[in-house]
Amino acid sequence: MRILIVEDDARGRHFLSRGLGESGHIVDTAEDGATGLAMASEGIYDVVVTDRLLPALDGVELVRRLRAGGNATPVLMLSAIGGLAQRVEGIQAGCDDYLVKPYAFTELLARVEALARRIDRTRMNNVLQCADLSLDTRARTASRAGQDLRLQRREYLLLECLMRRAGQVVTRSMLLEAAWSYDFEPRGNIIDMHMHRLRAKVDRDFATPLIHTVVGAGYILRPGD
């Protein structure tokens, strides 16, 4: 899951980024509301976590503008202001959840993952399927013909990106966005290296390859040649 944190407090931002990263998620950060809105508007995030009081653009207005632009990404708002009127204002602006500071990280993580599961339910199925390849987005596991593929974190993220776009060409830039943070600077052929390892796990022991290279474009997941 890819998460955007919009938080002007450096210590709080680092705490959230580290905790969510250690929980297996890809995390990007923004230090003010205007930057957060620009990043969230790209539509590449599964969940946005934003503070209420932000420089440049406050969290409530950030969410209003995000919703006005047609972006339905789930938003969890954090605030030291826990009054009923403030919570109602945040929800009316378009927030999906509201968490009052101070909070326990375990509760925040549970709420973020609950928002992500809500999106999975709208996709009607937590299990993605292509031929005999299955990926469970809730358990974060993959198998082929009943055999556990034992994927590493980035391999899982790359495969999820491919499976959500099965039958379509997925560019290296799209794969980079799916499995690395916004500020990551790729060196050499890092995407191809990770894809080589992923293909070894997905295709090596099976008669029919599913991941195919599209020369000059990227990769595609489909049964057969």
Domains 2-122 and 127-221 share a fold: no
Q: Tokens 């339905």 appear where?
A: 72
CATH 3.40.50.2300 fits 2-122, yes or no: yes
State how far Cα 175 lies from the chain centre: 12
Highest-pLDDT range among 5-14, 81-90, 182-191: 5-14
Highest-pLDDT range among 81-85, 186-190, 214-218: 214-218
Alpha-carbon gap, residue 182 to 27, rounded angstroms: 8
Tokens of 35: 């930057």
Alpha-carbon gap, residue 119 to 46, rounded angstroms: 8
8 Å CB contact between 41 and 48? no
Query: Among 67-76, 83-92, 118-127, where is mean pLDDT lowest?
Result: 118-127
pLDDT at 125: 58
**pLDDT surpasses 90 at 24:** no
Q: Where are the domains of the chain?
A: 2-122, 127-221
CATH architecture of the domain with residue range 127-221: Orthogonal Bundle (1.10)
* Nearest alpha-carbon partner for 208 in 164, 144, 141: 144
Residue that wins the pLDDT comparison between 194 and 182: 194
Q: What is the pTM of this model?
A: 0.66
Tokens of 81: 């202001």
Alpha-carbon gap, residue 90 to 60, rounded angstroms: 6
In percent, the amount of the chain with pLDDT more than 70 equals 95
pLDDT at 39: 92
